[in-house]
Structure 1
């Protein structure tokens, strides 16, 4: 089979592979999956695994692979935990992963804000810096307010995680709010830079491209809304 979106597949020292080890009951395909630890030499892929980097529009700091498994075998001794429990192992860290993604989004937005403040102080029009104009000042104020709101929400979620409290709804809120905020703020950063923001001469364009991904991975914005609404309406799992 094939697996898309395998981050650091070439540079990692091991792979975590989830494989079906038993048939799943009707309507419960998440059951019967087991997790395996596969050691490998860094810079290579194991025998029976081939792959190539996926061409992305951002997040160039890491390579993300599509992997193809053909006659690839794992040992029973390499199983992580109990057989058939891979789904639960994989999903047990989603709250932390979503807080992590929210933090990335906040950092990207903060970078766009910092760059925009700097640029607005340097760029001059009509013999004055553009930071003197109300249109620019109000954009900066709104950007900073949205960033701080996301940061404080994520701090709360991180505290819940650190103290062992359930916070799947709140983690989804933080991830949803921060990622949507980051794209808006980075877009406003490009607007403040004007035409210069649409070039690769300023980092704000990279912030914008990378922020767009935070709305997709670790569960799309639509998935986060589903989780939040399920919890509020009493339709989620206990």
Structure 2
């Protein structure tokens, strides 16, 4: 991977871009889960943190203070049976990531930060007083850029990158279902019409619709993978499924905080 620059522009726009790339660019699938929380935390205050200041963003019930010496792995009663079964494989994957950079297996939160610095996902730079502070790389690399992923992991990451590319377009289409605050269950449209909505072309519209269909809360009356761009079809939304499964990202609010709406589940 080519070296990336450090984030120096801490504007709301750049922070939101970093957040979106973290949440939708594949890092949500990398374990331990604290990896994503640390990356999100790096931009939450609009200025770079020292390591120990980043710890609270990794706080859990077992580690309420976010001590960096605490285990980076969730274990015990908080995990269901499937999560417990997956844990050994996740630890093995993370051990492979660390070994790629000559590091020992990940045990603590501080170990995770060390791996992110070694991979140049985070840059540890001294400030004017000599205090080392963590600047995320900009643009934030995808996991496949910096970690030795398996073929299966790579496929998942490709799908997540498609989500990142077309998520904004899909949100524009979702907006058609909420005119003036109302919630419509169906919209009659075509790929050509949707292209105008997203200010793109029919290929972009097709990919955005396929992204919606892949979530399970939208359905179409035609095969969108093969439909002609001018052909009219009905796009339908199941709002009950929508509310159960989606995290809505609303950008940065007036207080500089990332605003999200969590799923009902």
**Structure 1 and Structure 2 fold alike (TM over 0.5):** no
Please give the TM-score of this superposition, normalised by the length of structure 1. 0.26
Please give the TM-score of this superposition, normalised by the length of structure 2. 0.24
Higher helix content, 1 or 2: 1
